[in-house]
Amino acid sequence: MSTDGRPLSPHVTIYRWPITMVLSILHRITGVAMSIGLLVYVLWLEAIAFESMPYDTVKGALDSVIGQVLLLGWSFCFFFHLANGIRHLIWDTGRLFEKHQADRSAWFVLSASVVMTAGYWLVTGGQGG
């Protein structure tokens, strides 16, 4: 056994992460983020049901810089989860399993997510909804 100071097994700081691994981790993170966003959405719906004061408070929070960043992030999470879900549906048919195909489809998912998020925010005029 070698004792040259290197770890016994690969560590995340040593080797380059494959894009498919990054997307797998990101898919889980975006799922959790969308769950948190769903709670904010329910809060917003409840605020609509009440008089104007709770709604104005929630709208003010979502119109703030932090609120807009969160809405941008949640919209990216939605589009990423959607695109990656379609990729998984294609995998369910037995296609795109070769390494180069999986890598290309992963980059396509990331690109499509960014393009759809940017398009959504351009169409909505930066209001996020």
User: Mind listing the pLDDT tens digit for each residue in 105-127?
Assistant: 999 999 999 999 999 999 997 66
**Which range of residues forms the domain containing residue 42?**
21-123
> Is residue 99 domain-resident?
yes
Mean pLDDT over residues 66-76, rounded? 96
Q: Output the pTM of the full model.
A: 0.83
Mean pLDDT over residues 97-102, rounded? 95
Q: What is the CATH number of the domain that holds 104?
A: 1.20.1300.10
Cα gap 76→83, rounded to integer Å: 10
Q: What is the four-CA torsion angle of 71, 72, 73, 77, rounded to 10 degrees?
A: 100
Residue 53 pLDDT grade (very low, low, confident, very high; cuts 50, 70, 90): confident
> Is residue 11 domain-resident?
no
> Is residue 81 domain-resident?
yes
When the pLDDT of each residue in the chain is averaged and rounded to a whole number, the result is 89
How many domains is the chain built from?
1
Cα gap 79→114, rounded to integer Å: 8
